[in-house]
Structure formats: structure tokens, C-alpha cells
Chain A
Amino acid sequence: MQKMMQDRARELLSSGKVDRVLGWIEGDFVYDVTPHVFRENDIDQLIYHSFASQNLSKYLVGETKKDGVIAVFLRPCDSYSFVQLLKEHRFDREKVYAIAIPCLGKVDAEDLRAMGIRGITGVTDGKERIILHTLYGDVEKEKSEVIAERCRKCRGVHAPYFDERLGEELTKEPLTDRFEMVEKLEKMTAEERFAFWQDELSRCIRCNACRNVCPACTCEKCVFDNAASGIENKAPASSFEEQNFHIIRAFHVAGRCTDCGQCSRVCPQGIPLHLLNRKFIKDINSCYGEYRAGADLEEKAPLNRFDVDDCEPGDVVGKGE
């Protein structure tokens, strides 16, 4: 796959169809992957394996402000973010060449470390199995054993919107019910739930990684950076400020979150931030019918739409009790 992507990228660059290519590059370690803008000279370094986890779509917001056309590789989950951003006019479609690629689920180094797999020096991906080359020898695992939570629940069958497809279109069934944990939280008493979130959110160091990685967070000026918003000084006003930050953020991305799971992936404190967003997704689904942000370019989002048979506030009140 990686070879195919490099070849295609080189072709596109040399034909002049695109000026730059957005993909993934390895850092010091194999699992230390970062998004990178390639040109013809460094295209050989483009990688695609189980550690290429970043959602590339958000980078288009900045990249399309530059001159020329950029090609981007979109895994199914990225492409939902891609469509959502396009719907919100956040980048210039004409400056983007979207290439849909398949994905078999990604692996997080933290998860592997927790399983006792350390010193990773390389990876060989198979469809069902994955071989991790480490300083202490190779470890072979079933993919379903090691892939990240966000990939377990993945229903990303196909990219909804692209210019060309590379590789085969894979069908996939989610390995877990993504609302399982949300349901567990809903069943808690208000006190238990508060304790759960206090425990989780009090670890927050306000590094803003979740916001910076989130493809739904692309405001010209974030309300938390804007002194005039009246919110900026609200968050620290509480002794439990992180709660305000994350809840306000969840509200801001409600109905736009594609559940790509990047927020939890980048959190250095391991806070399951995606649960907040999933609660909103679950509620939107139950109130307005199944909806997936970024699945359709034309469809109006339930929170931006009014229908006569929309649920009444009374249907919602008392749900969380």
C-alpha cells in the first residue's frame, strides 16, 4: 500500500496535477509518525502503516490558503472529517485532490506498552495479523487484539467523497458497540457520574492538544483564546475549570463531531474525551434519527435544521436523571 501511495504521489507531482502531497512521515521512532507535506524530493519518505494515525483533513484548512493544489490521503474516518470541513467551507475544494485509501485499524504505542510490548523498531501489517519488530524480537498479534479503541468501533466502510481511490475498498464491521461506555455512564447516578468525570478531567493540564487536533475545531479565533467571548475567563473561574473547558468544547462540536477519536488519542493524560462527544452523538441519534456528521455533503445537520416533528424539549428533559 505504502509503495502504491508513493508511486501515485510521485506521478501526480511530476505530471503537475498537484504541487504538494499531504501524508505521513516517520520521526525518530517507527511509532513516532507526523503529518508531512511532501514534494518530489522527499516523497520516498512517505509511509503508511499501523502507526499512521493522524487525521490529515484538518491540515487542509491551512494548506489550501497557500498557492497550488495539494493531494491528500484520506482513510475512511478522515474522509468524514474532510466532508464535514468542506460542508463548513473551511477549505478550498479546488485546491485539494482527495485520494481515498483503505485502513485496517491503527495501533497506539501507549496501548502496546501497556501490553508489555516495548522497544518497537518496525512493523509489518497483514490483513488479520500484525508483526511488531522489537529490540527483544518479533511479536505477532491478532489485529483485533491490539488496535486502538477508536478503530474497534470503526464503521468506516468507505470514504464518502473523494477524487480517486487507491487500493481496495474494504468492508468492516465494528468490533465493539461504541455507545457501550456511554450507556454505562448514563446508568450512573448524577453523583457517580460527576465523580467519574472529576476523576478523569482533573488530570487535564490544559495543553489544548485535543482542541488543536480536533478537525471540528477550526475557528478563526477559538472562544477560549478570545477575551471578548465571555467564556475565556469562565473556564478558570471554577475550581474545576477543566470541566468547563471540555464541556464547552463538546457543545461546540456537537452535531459536527465525526467521532474520529483524535482527541483521546492525543491526550497526554489519557482522558477518554471522546465519550463526551459520543454522548452527544447518541442523543442526536435518539432525538433526531441516525445521523453521521460528514457522511453527506448536502444533508442538513439535525442541530441546524428544524422539522415540524422534531422532538420537543419535554422529550429530552429528564433523560439524564
Chain B
Amino acid sequence: MQRIGVFVCWCGSNIAATVDVKAVAEALGKEPGVVYFEDYQYMCSEEGQTKLQNAIRDYKLTGAVVCSCSPRMHEATFRKAAAKAGVNSFMVEIANIREQCSWIHKNKEEATEKAIILGRAAIAKVHLNAPLTAGESPVTKRALVIGGGIAGIQTALDIADAGFEVDIVEKKPTIGGKMSQIDKTFPTLDCAACILTPKMVEVAQNEKIRIFSYSEVDKVQGFVGNFSVSIRRKARFVDEVKCTGCGLCTEKCPQKKVPNEFNLGLDQRRAIYIPFAQAVPKVATIDPDYCTMLKTGKCGVCSKICTAGAIDYKQKDSFIEEKYGAIVVATGFNPIELNKYDEFAYSQSPDVITSLEFERITNAAGPTGGTLLRPSDGEHPKKIVFVQCVGSREDGSGCGKTYCSKICCMYTAKHAMLTREKYPDTEVYVFYIDVRTPGKSFDEFYRRAVEEYGVHYIKGMVGKVIPQGKKLMVRASDLIDRKQLLIDADLVVLAAAIEPDKSARPLATMLTASMDTNDFFTEAHPKLRPVESPTAGIFLSGCCQGPKDIPETVSQASACAAKVIGLLCRDKLTGNPCVAHSDELMCNGCSTCEKVCPYGAITYQDKEFRMPDRTMRTRRVASVNPAVCQGCGACTVACPSGAMDLHGFSNSQIMAEVDAICK
């Protein structure tokens, strides 16, 4: 029989306001095996932990139940405290009476009853707990960064600076990401290329960093410290080593009518291309969808012209297998598709553009050479309307996002200001719901746009944009002056909401990392562990975790690197003892567990068994590699005979908990 202590935490008023903590402690004190109970204001404080340790010593406790917040918060805290007092860590169970009880209930009576039931279930489990000891596993001292935008670049550089090897996997032919498409950066208005491209070069030159451009992560196996990743290097039909990046092929290729995605389709490129002059690696890529040679076998101009002999039409996708200790997700964002926003006439008029398209039009390396010209007729627009929150902050019923995209207020102010600066004869209107400019020197920046540059900021939304001849008639409401407006604009710029890159969802599945409903990766803790995923060894950098501007992205990227370095510095990691094991006498050898195991931790072997009739029989039985098993429990529920079980979460323990709840 266990000697169990029950500790009920008030969590200040977080629990105590909705749950009668004294009643919970007393009720649980009557449970079989409970020899000590008490309630305390903050169990996680030093005083609270001391109470736990003293009770262990004074009452010779063999196990403890702490009724408090989520085990994600403080399970480790209480387990460590118990271990110091001489009780095995895994003899401590948490009953979550905060997130799963007090926070979600209003009625004190009901919440108290539920807290007692949750506590009772935990006690039932402790009765069947057994001391567990964790094993150790080595750490591969190399990191993988998925995504080569500014977030991935910064994280990779910082990790490499600490002396660890880093690989960057970028799906596009060049690193640089969205920042490479941007013209100027707020609030200082320095040019994006001037601060980004040196960093790209730094990455290329760093001996510790390898860039796998035009590549994608294909498969991920393993666990923290020991990931093994298969990277698909897509065929670019150009030998990366031989290509000098001279660009001759990109000038001579006869296929000229390919929409240039780097300029968001505002101009055209060739079928063989280098996205932009400062691309890293500066290597040409053949677009198989447009290349005449690859499609019909008749052309071969680039191959004839290439003095380096780098063109290889027969190149196929290849795979690289590599081991990593940590994986950083830096998959970034995209503006949402605006096809569904008919009211803004985005698909009807080429003069209704997104803010990112506006960046390209004003960029010196863009399709217009940096002169602000209308896409339709190449004329200077004299009246520009900016619409904010297109697809952001919606109520969730439409096709937009419920969240604020965070960066639009600032870049719209930047666009408005730069337009007025360069073309003072242009009238600029900005329609907004709220202007949100918190951040260092941000609000001053926006006020400068209004006060010094005379940008017309109008609170209200645009209802409709109607293309009429060369004009765009913008119907909008001014909420402050309470009147309807009709503006004959030449150009309308939509601040489209941003969303996570589409590659993020399948990647999250591969990494078993969790995501929110918007497909942003979730953090291990929104405040205290913002750059780690709840999946150990997976780290988050940049917009894959939530909308961010460049300064915030860079600081998060460096924070992420710090966490990765902290992991890679260690030689050994303490494993999780809550792993699966199979009862060989019951195992059928059916392979079901092997098939469902996401970590490849289960193998089969033929073993000799002595049967009851004293004969020997060879049977095929499952065996679990405890270093690879992550304790997810998929095998235990798939096993038809019940031979598979999980240490710390055994079938009988879970049954006991269910029974205690249903009692």
C-alpha cells in the first residue's frame, strides 16, 4: 500500500476563487492510502515545495498528488522537489485543477466536485505507480534550419557563431525570403537589400553553414538530440558546383514569357533564371514547367551557351540523409490570396495591388526600376488609396483571418510616407479600422506620415472599388465625419493579411509539432518558452509562430539560436523513462505496433521460449528501443492482445483513473 500525500494549491485566487480548496483537500484525505493532506496558497513557491518535502520525510510518503495547474507548468518542479526528499520523481502525479477545472467553471460547487474527482483519479494512478529511472542519449551537434528567410538566416548565423554546424533548407532557388522582396524597412527607412544581402553572403561564406537551396524536408525521424532527416534536393537541371552565376543563359533563353514570381508576376522572366542579382547561391535554375527542352526535347540553347558546362537536363531529384540534434522551423509567411475579395476588384483591375506588389513596384530592382507606375498603363498614379486590414481582424465567418497581421499599419505608413516624399503631387488616402503602432519609434513614424507628410488617414473601411475607365472609384465611409466618400483613385493598395506558408502544416505533421487553428506553430509556453515548440528539439523562428516585423523576427531568431546552442552544448540528454515495453509472453508478433509507431522504435526478433509442456518454441516478438521511444502510447492501444504497455501510463493505471472518475 502506498502512503500518499495530497497537496492542493490555491494558485492565489486562480484556483481558490472557483474551487473550495479546503473541501478538496479534506475529501481527498479520506481516500484510501492518503496519509497526509494540506492546501497552500502557492505550492510552486519555495515554501510550497518545502511543505511537500517535509511531508515526505515526516509522514514517510511513498507518493504524492499535487492538485494544481497543468503538468506542463509545474510537474517537473514538484517531481524534482520530491526527488530531493528521497521519493522517485515518477511517484508524483499532478491533478490539473486549474486549466481543466477552475479556469473553465463558474459555479464553485460544481468546480469543487470536479476537482475532487480529478484528485481521486490521480490518487488511483499513484497507487499503481512504480519508480522509474531515465536513460541517457547522446546529442548530434548539428542543427537544421528549415527556411532561409531573415529568421532562418539569423538563427543559422548565431548557431554557427557558437561553433556548431548548421544546414539551411530553402525551398526556393535562393535564400533571402520575403525580406529580399521588400524595398525599404520601417521605421528607419534603410533599404532592405543593403542590410539583408550582406547577411546572405555571410551565410554563404560561413564554413559551418551549408545551404540546401531548392530543397525540401522529405522525412523526419528520431527525437530531440537524434533527428535523422531526409532532404529532397529538387532537380534544378543546373550543376550547382559548375555554375558560375554569370547569367548568360538567363539572357539567351528563348522562353521569355514566364511570370516572374520574385516580382509577383508583375513582369516576366526566362525559363532558366536567377531570381535576383544578389541571390545566394547565385546559381541558375531551370523551370521545368516552361523549359522547351524539358517539355519537348527541342531547344538546348542554355546548354550550348554555358561555358562552364553546368546545364544537365537529365538531373533528377536527389536525397540527402543527415543527422541533427535540433530542428528550427523558420517557414515564414505569405500574403493571403485575395481572389475572394471581389469588393476590392483585385482580380478585375491590375491597378488594385497588394502591398507586397507595391514594394516591388517601388523597388529599384523591381519591374519598373523603382519608379511608381501603374501596372495597367505605366502612368504615374496621382491619387492612391491604401486599404488596411484586408483579410485581417475579421469575425471568422468570412474568408479572412481573425487575428491582426501586425505589420500592415507600419508598412502602410511607410508606403504612404515614401510616396509623398518622392511624388509630392500625389494624394494619398489610408483607410483604417485602428492604427496600431506599438514598438520602438513606431508611433513617431506613423505620426510623421500624418503630420509632416500630409497623408489623409481616414477611419473607416472601403466598401467597394469599382473600375471605371482609367479610374478606380473607391466607395468608403468616414466614421469620424460620418459621411460616405467616393474617391476617384488611380491606384488601390490592399494591405493583405499574412498567413503561415502552406508548407508549414505538412511539416508540422512530420515534426509532430503542434499548430493553432491558423496554422501558426504553437510555443511550449506563450510567455515563458516562446521559441520552443512543445515537441522537444523543435524550435520556432520568425513568422511561422505568429505575425512579426523584421526587428521582432531577428530578436526571436537569435533567441531561438540561444535555445538551440543550449541544447547542442550538452553531451547527453536525459531520456524519458515513460516508454513502451512489450510482454513477450503475450506478444503475437503481428507487427501492428511496428506499423503505428511514428518513431520507428519497435523491431521484431525471433526468440526461443520454453513452453509449459517443456518444449522450446521460436516466436516472433516485439522489442522496443527505449532510446527511440517517445512514449506516445500509439502501440499500446493498437496492440490487440494488450502485450504492449507504457511505463508511467500503463493500461491498468489509465483504467484505474477512469474507474476513479466514474465511481
- A residues contacting B by CB (< 8 A) are 65, 87-90, 218-223, 226, 228-231, 252-253, 256, 300-301, 303-306, 308
Contact = CB atoms under 8 A, between A and B. Distances in A.
A87 B588 CA distance: 12
Interface string B651-662: 110010000000
B71 interface: no
Contact of A89 (B585, B591, B641, B652): B591
B641 A223 contact: yes
Highest count of chain A CB atoms <10 Å: which of B506, B585, B619, B641: B641
B134 interface: no
Contact of A223 (B587, B591, B620, B642): B642
Please tell me the size bucket of the interface on B. Answer: 20 to 34
Given A222-B641, A228-B652, A304 B586 contact: no
A54 B587 CA distance: 27
Contacts of A230: 651-652, 655
A221 B641 CA distance: 7
Nearest to A228: B652
B124 to A, nearest CB: 13
Contacts, number: 59
Interface stretch (B201-209, B405-413, B518-526, B592-600): B592-600
Contacts of B619: 220
Nearest to B594: A304
Which 6 A-B residue pairs are closest in the complex by CB-CB distance?
A88-B590, A219-B641, A304-B595, A230-B655, A229-B642, A89-B589
B12 interface: no
Contacts of A256: 640
Contacts of A252: 640
A45 to B, nearest CB: 30
B592 A219 contact: no
A221 B586 contact: yes
A163 to B, nearest CB: 22
B348 interface: no
B165 to A, nearest CB: 30
B607 interface: no
Contacts of B587: 220
Nearest to B621: A220
Contacts of B591: 87-89
Contacts of B643: 220
Contacts of B586: 219-221, 226
Nearest to B596: A304
Nearest to A303: B638
A298 to B, nearest CB: 12
B589 A305 contact: no
A196 B587 CA distance: 36
Contact of A65 (B505, B509, B617): B617
A228 B642 CA distance: 9
Interface in B590-619: 590-592, 595-596, 598, 604, 617, 619
30 contacts: A87-B591, A88-B588, A88-B591, A89-B589, A89-B604, A89-B620, A90-B588, A90-B589, A90-B590, A219-B640, A220-B585, A220-B586, A220-B641, A221-B586, A221-B641, A223-B641, A223-B642, A226-B586, A228-B652, A229-B642, A229-B651, A230-B651, A230-B655, A300-B595, A301-B595, A303-B638, A304-B592, A304-B596, A308-B505, A308-B509
A305 B594 CA distance: 11
B395 to A, nearest CB: 21
Nearest to A88: B590
Contacts of B585: 220-221
Nearest to B638: A304
Nearest to A223: B642
A222 B587 CA distance: 11
B505 to A, nearest CB: 8
Given A90-B588, A218-B588, A304-B592, A226 B642 contact: yes
B250 to A, nearest CB: 36
A220 B589 CA distance: 9
A221 B642 CA distance: 9
Contacts of A303: 638
A252 B590 CA distance: 13
Given A226-B586, A229-B642, 6 more contacts: A89-B589, A219-B640, A220-B588, A221-B585, A221-B586, A231-B642
Interface string B567-588: 0000000000000000001111
A89 B585 CA distance: 16
Contacts of B640: 219, 252-253, 256
B588 A306 contact: no
A89 B638 contact: no
A89 B590 contact: yes
Contacts of A306: 596, 598
Contacts of A220: 585-588, 619, 641, 643
A228 B655 CA distance: 12
A253 B585 CA distance: 20
A308 B506 contact: yes
A229 B640 CA distance: 11
Nearest to B634: A306
B620 A305 contact: no
A64 to B, nearest CB: 12
A276 to B, nearest CB: 16
A65 B655 CA distance: 35
A239 to B, nearest CB: 15
